[in-house]
Amino acid sequence: GTEPVFILGPCVIESEDFIWDIAEKLGTMAQQHGWRWVFKASYDKANRSAISSYRGLGCEAGCKLLAQIGAKLGVPVTTDVHTVEEAKQAAEHIDLLQIPAFLCRQTDLIVAAGETGRTVNVKKGQFMAPWDVKNIADKLVASGCQNFMFTERGTTFGYNNLVADMRSLYWMRELGYRAVMDATHSVQRPGGLGTATGGDGKLAPVLARAAVATGCDGVFMETHPDPAKAFSDGPNQIPLSQIAEVVETLRKIHGLVRDIS
């Protein structure tokens, strides 16, 4: 019934200047339009296709920087954690801990995140049925975590392709969980560029609209001032210049379906 949450930011912290600039621009938009939002960026891309790809700033430095941004802009921040140690370290600075899709079945990581007391956002694995998030929820609850959500980011569909099954959002919410749509990763073509993951960024706003009309609690979208020059996942990201329009359309659709979805 309430406003949807928008998790917005670039794929990875490319530099300190870069991340401040994009955060401030998003913050200005959010304030202007009254968005409920979370700022997102990764300090490490731990599962890049190729070993030579850019990885990031590292956990400690990255989380502190995100925390500064959050404090300055008055916005919660989120980042993805990959190990038990990172979960603990990040939780000192980060409001919303994100579990990457490939790692959603790693019990130690789920439990460590759950024990921090932070809200946890688990990306549903590309190999997992929507109803099977219940097992993850049980692990989180057993760890003392009361506040968590699941993010749909597409399911393996043949080779080098994902499909975003809109029923997934419905089924996860029917189980009583909050469900977020990751619109930019759902349009990935994993491995589709040989040594990098391809995708089709112009489809991201399309799937975001579908998800909000389906009924969901939030939308995750990566954005970049110039996606073609992004260090990571460029093909999927939405140009920063288009984000305000995309979000405003999503909010209008959400307003229409709020009471029935």
Binding residues for its own copies (CB under 8 A)? 46-51, 55, 82-83, 102-103, 105-108, 111, 125-132, 135, 138-139, 142, 155-161, 163-167, 170, 187, 190-191, 195, 200, 203, 206-207, 209-215, 249, 252-253, 256-257, 260-261
The type of residue at 165 is D
Measured from the CB of residue 97, what is the shortest distance to its own copies in angstroms? Answer: 17
Radius of gyration of the chain (CA): 17
Q: What CA–CA distance (Å, rounded) separates 76 from 193?
A: 34
Decide whether 27 or 217 has the Cβ nearer to its own copies: 217
Taken in order 192, 198, 199, 200, the sign of the CA dihedral is negative
Q: What CA–CA distance (Å, rounded) separates 182 from 186?
A: 6
Decide whether 22 or 109 has the Cβ nearer to its own copies: 109
Measured from the CB of residue 238, what is the shortest distance to its own copies in angstroms? Answer: 13
Q: What CA–CA distance (Å, rounded) separates 257 from 214?
A: 8
Decide whether 77 or 253 has the Cβ nearer to its own copies: 253
Decide whether 27 or 205 has the Cβ nearer to its own copies: 205
Measured from the CB of residue 227, what is the shortest distance to its own copies in angstroms? Answer: 18
Best CA proximity match to 166, nearest among 212, 211, 127: 211
Measured from the CB of residue 111, what is the shortest distance to its own copies in angstroms? Answer: 7
Helix axes 204-214, 240-257, angle to 10 degrees: 20
- Name the token pair of 160: 């080098």
Measured from the CB of residue 168, what is the shortest distance to its own copies in angstroms? Answer: 9
State whether residue 261 is helix, strand or coil: coil
Decide whether 21 or 115 has the Cβ nearer to its own copies: 115
